[in-house]
Chains A and B, each alone.
Chain A
Amino acid sequence: MSSVLRATGLNKTFAAGGMFRAIGADKKAVVDLSFDLQAGQTLAIVGESGSGKSTVARMAMQLLAADSGEIFWGDEEVTHLSGSALRSRRRHIQMVFQDPFASLNPRMKIWESVAEGLKVHQPSLSRGQRRDAVAAVLNQCGLDEGGMDRYPHQFSGGQRQRIGIARALIVEPKVLVLDEPVSALDVSVQAQILNLLNDIQKDRGLSYLFISHDLSVVRHIADHVAVMFAGHVVEQGAVADVFGNCRHPYTDALLKARPIAHPDERSPVDTLAATDEGVAESGCPFRNRCTVAQSDCAGFDARLNAQGFACLHPLNITTDE
């Protein structure tokens, strides 16, 4: 296996801006994040809103510059590239967005939107060749090529997401960055899109960086997972390990908050009080919400250890540790 997308020590801080510059604190969106995505694999980044997961996606795409740290597309370090040098390498990595309607130009026919990447990366193609390529990729995405002269509003949400995927695939990338690709879809359509992503991955040996807040979806589609809280990766590892035997209390809380599958699984929730705030500014960021936090957590430098979690008081301790 070879690495197709790698990040080492990424940091990003957003400065408090606008008229609250004087009173606002800078927001650490991503702190010391590293990952290595292998060919044909799916790495999921999960977290709640504000955890920094979309910032990671934008940095992986080089749509947003990191304050420090490096990003590699394949073997090439791309953090220092810009302009046409960067553009010519964008064939390697493409993005699919959450809201497929907002990401398609309503005044362009479907085939024109899908073919845009070809104009940049294969400018020698004729119009007819571009249309053939669009027809082929639409077919692979489960859409009838007969619809290629229609406009986005003539398609349902699920079809638009297929168009979004087709547009990313047409330049034959090695990596897709998928930012909440199924969150806006009905559950039956969500299943179709997840199956499509699985099929395409098998077919083309693609790698996915899959951003999501939905642990059921992640468990279904990903090989590896990084759990983010307030910019920190608090736990990282193979999906089976993290979901089957999680060590960080935040991962545990997320897993327990998952929707249940059957009314027999109902369990009383005792935390009625509204305590859903409070990222700790120093030490472990999760300690204000943590059920097992102790005084030493205030001084803990929350970084992943060799076993893939960032916690002084991990759960599920086995005897051989």
Chain B
Amino acid sequence: MNERCSILLERGRRIGHTAAMLEVRNLSLSVSIQGNRVEAVSGVSLQLEPGRVLGLVGESGCGKSLTAQAILRLGEFQGVEKSSGDILLDGESLFEMSDEQLRRTRGGHVAMVFQEPMTALNPVFSIGSQIIEVIRLHLDLSKQQARQRAIDLLNDVGMQNTEQLLKQYPDSLSGGMRQRVLIAMAMAADPDYIIADEPTTALDVSVQKRIIALLLNLQKKRGLGLLLVTHDFGLVAEMCDDVAVMYAGQIVESGPVKEIFDHPSHPYTRALMGCRPEVSQSGGSLPVIGGQVPPPGRWPTGCHFAPRCALADASCAAPVATDAWHEGRHTARCVHGEAR
């Protein structure tokens, strides 16, 4: 247990003098498109505290998954580069960590749950060997102890016949069951933060609700900080304490969940919420957003949403600050935020 203890002690010391928080500070990321480096995430700041759920919402191509993966520096394997900014884990920069520290942080301190439960598990290893591998990677436990911990974790995520389950292979499980196994794996080393990238998108509706309940239950019981990456405002309404809305590489609005739903202050947030069929009357036309999301490299110099915005005028041609409109913790990157 020595290694584990020292990690905990080290973590305790860190927490002692700075706020316990996972902080993305003014992060910009670039990707390579046809040989050119193009900015794909622009000056994103997020703060995730233990015990809270933060939703990062946006449509495909807005940069939300890039941001989430950058938190564990996973994007670097796919050619994503940081151009500026920092990521701080309880006050310590992830970019100053040694490879060994980074390895322990991934899964040990911050764990990930991915969208595709079908591809995130290795089909040729049993469920048991995959969970036990993660446990022993992070905790100094014997095989027997690790096995017992795997059983406890699977029980925690609502699985039955867990002894038997350890010997089974991923293909014998349904999508919902696999997602539970992945959540158990994420919990293996008692992380403080979980990043869940579209954790329910690939599941049937009735299964979705139970996975949501499970995640929230674990999050509350263990005081986890949960970053939920999603395109689904329904999921945000269901789970989040705070929300950050992304559009074309930028955070355009952020604040407490009720504030965002009651008074969406960025025209994009309002438009995106309005086109959901669950809030519309049946029949008739749904409100739509004209035009398309501009791809990285073709963003306007001023407000990124201006070309599609009904409120846009000359004042939108200059870059807009994240908190151009603000009221308490609720901010919107819009010079017309008052017009909400």
Contacts and interface: CB of A to CB of B under 8 A. Distances in A.
Given A259-B235, A263-B257, A273 B160 contact: yes
- The B interface is mostly helix, strand or loop, or mixed, namely helix
Nearest to A198: B285
Interface stretch (B71-79, B273-281, B309-317, B327-335): B273-281
A158 B275 CA distance: 15
A194 interface: yes
Interface in B182-237: 204-210, 212-214, 217, 231-235, 237
A262 B209 contact: no
B174 A277 contact: yes
Report the interface size class on chain A. 35 or more
Interface in B154-201: 157-160, 174-177, 180
A22 interface: no
A260 B231 CA distance: 14
Interface string B254-284: 0001100100000000011001111110111
B145 interface: no
A268 B159 CA distance: 20
Contacts of B272: 187-188
Interface string A218-238: 011000000000000000000
Interface stretch (B42-50, B131-139, B286-294, B296-304): B286-294
A220 B282 contact: yes
B278 A191 contact: no
B49 to A, nearest CB: 18
28 contacts: A48-B207, A186-B60, A186-B231, A187-B233, A187-B272, A188-B288, A189-B59, A195-B285, A195-B288, A214-B277, A219-B282, A220-B286, A239-B282, A254-B206, A256-B209, A257-B208, A259-B233, A260-B234, A262-B237, A262-B261, A266-B237, A272-B210, A273-B160, A274-B157, A274-B176, A274-B180, A276-B176, A277-B174
Interface of A: 48-49, 156-158, 186-192, 194-195, 198, 213-217, 219-220, 239, 253-254, 256-266, 268-269, 271-274, 276-277
Interface of B: 59-60, 157-160, 174-177, 180, 204-210, 212-214, 217, 231-235, 237-238, 240, 257-258, 261, 271-272, 275-280, 282-289, 292
